[in-house]
Amino acid sequence: MSGPPSQELSTKERALLDYIANEGRPVYARRARLLLLWGQGLKIGEIASQVQLSPGRVRYWLRAFARKRWHIFPQDLIQTPEPSASDPGSSPEGVPPEPPSRPGLEPEDSMLQAAGKILSLYFRRMLQHERGTRLGQDMEELHDMRVATRRMRAALRMFGPYVQGKAFRPIRRGLRRTGDALGAVRDLDVFWLKTEQYLAGLSAERQGDLDLLRQAWEVEYEQRRQEMLAYLDGKRYARFKERFDDLLRSPQRAARPLFSDKGEARPRRLSDLLPVLVSERLAQVLAYDEWVMAEDMPLGQLHRLRIAAKRLRYALEFFQELLGPEAPLLIEKLKGLQDHLGNLQDAVVASSLLCDFLAWGTWGHGPASDRGPAVSVVAPGVAAYLAARQAELQQLVESFPQVWSDFREPEFRRAIARVVFPWPE
């Protein structure tokens, strides 16, 4: 039997399948789309082509639907409750207002005031994208929420020496947990986004080359997404947001004494410390020069360089409204460096995942995995994809010295100096 005995779907069934197809969970969205296409009278081969599954896999889900009907979907999807007006996480009225584009810094701000303004801005951005992250319909919502957590962590690292660390300790823990939960899903989004770009370049006959990999990815994605949602729905995340909001409303709890134990005045004015903050991050970037220009560039060092470049870029973005007119150009230059190194790191991670899949038949887990016995797979399409990612990695490594050359020039350091001393005498 190639599928259910009839291709008739009721209006209610079509509406429910359409909801699932657009709800944002890739595993079940594809399943719903193939049923909708079947309901439109398309043949197995046509459905397989449109949902990018093998004909055999399409037949499997059509037979499963014939036997189990809606049990092939999770209960929370097929119930599709209407959003409650009292539920801020599920109604447009509960979405926080759009935060401003800049923190509103002033040169005379204290470091505590500056930290409060920057953290408040990105805390609001995190909340702004929480609903979209939960829905999962637009992967950029998750990306933006994760970026907000990363920037807050970078800000805490930068302002740490100038505020009372004890007050921010639970905030740091909460940001780390939130970033980890979001990152596990975002990394899978990025992996398959680039995989789809690879598939787009293959012939129609080869579109099924990565079906086994897709199935493993879908299982992993659904598990990580459910773990993320469980975290966002849990007490730890709720408590983290409460503590963070309380601290932002009463920041003086994080104030350090104005004088040291020896009676020495502590630097506290943003205008005095801003050049130091930026220069420190510039020095951390340039410290990698002798390593990354070596004949055999260690990939681990390149990854650390990317993190250092990101911290310098974040610092320039935090303080952009106080910097000189060249700041946007420097930010774009750093973004280019970061993107190059980001693509390189993605290729490294993808190569490792593909090697594991070919060796053990699992997603990112070796033979010691607790997910069952390892089963090697015969997947020449995956092997070809691994070769493509390795070639991409080689090209990115070989072209990196040219990208890095601009940052070695004295003019880059001079430009940084010009933007951090923009005030007239």
Secondary structure string (H, E, C) spanning the chain: CCCCCCCCCCHHHHHHHHHHHHHCCHHHHHHHHHHHHHHCCCCHHHHHHHHCCCHHHHHHHHHHHHHHHHHHCCHHHHHCCCCCCCCCCCCHHHCCCCCCCCCCCCCCCEHHHHHHHHHHHHHHHHHHCHHHHHHCCCHHHHHHHHHHHHHHHHHHHHHHHHCCHHHHHHHHHHHHHHHHHHHHHHHHHHHHHHHHHHHHCCCHHHCCCCHHHHHHHHHHHHHHHHHHHHHHHCHHHHHHHHHHHHHHHCHHHHCCCCECCCCCECCCEHHHHHHHHHHHHHHHHHCCHHHHCCCCCCHHHHHHHHHHHHHHHHHHHHCHHHCCCCHHHHHHHHHHHHHHHHHHHHHHHHHHHHHHHHHHCCCCCCCCCCCCCCCCCCCHHHHHHHHHHHHHHHHHHHHHHHHHHHHHCHHHHHHHHHHHCCCCC
Over residues 244-252, the mean pLDDT reads 90
So what's the pLDDT on residue 110? 94
Asked if residue 90 has pLDDT above 50, the reply is: no
Over residues 267-290, the mean pLDDT reads 93
Mean pLDDT of the chain: 85
Higher pLDDT pick, 90 / 98: 98
So what's the pLDDT on residue 105? 94
Least confidently predicted of 166-180, 223-237, 283-297, 364-378: 364-378
Best mean pLDDT range from 68-72, 364-368, 384-388: 384-388
Residue 69's pLDDT band (boundaries 50, 70, 90)?
confident
Residue 93's pLDDT band (boundaries 50, 70, 90)?
very low
| pLDDT tens per residue, range 192-207 | 999 999 998 989 889 8
Asked if residue 351 has pLDDT above 60, the reply is: yes
Best mean pLDDT range from 100-104, 185-189, 248-252: 185-189
Check for a shared fold between 96-254 and 270-420.
yes
Q: Write down the CATH number for the domain with range 96-254.
A: 1.40.20.10
Over residues 343-352, the mean pLDDT reads 96
Asked if residue 365 has pLDDT above 70, the reply is: no
Whether domain 270-420 has CATH 1.40.20.10: the reply is yes
| pLDDT tens per residue, range 303-326 | 999 999 999 999 999 999 999 999
Best mean pLDDT range from 37-46, 249-258, 298-307: 298-307
Residue 126's pLDDT band (boundaries 50, 70, 90)?
very high
So what's the pLDDT on residue 38? 87
Residue 86's pLDDT band (boundaries 50, 70, 90)?
very low
| pLDDT tens per residue, range 393-418 | 999 999 999 999 999 999 999 999 99
Higher pLDDT pick, 70 / 277: 277
| pLDDT tens per residue, range 154-191 | 999 999 999 887 889 999 999 999 999 999 999 999 99
Asked if residue 423 has pLDDT above 80, the reply is: no
Over residues 38-56, the mean pLDDT reads 82
So what's the pLDDT on residue 178? 98
> What residues does each domain of the chain span?
11-76, 96-254, 270-420
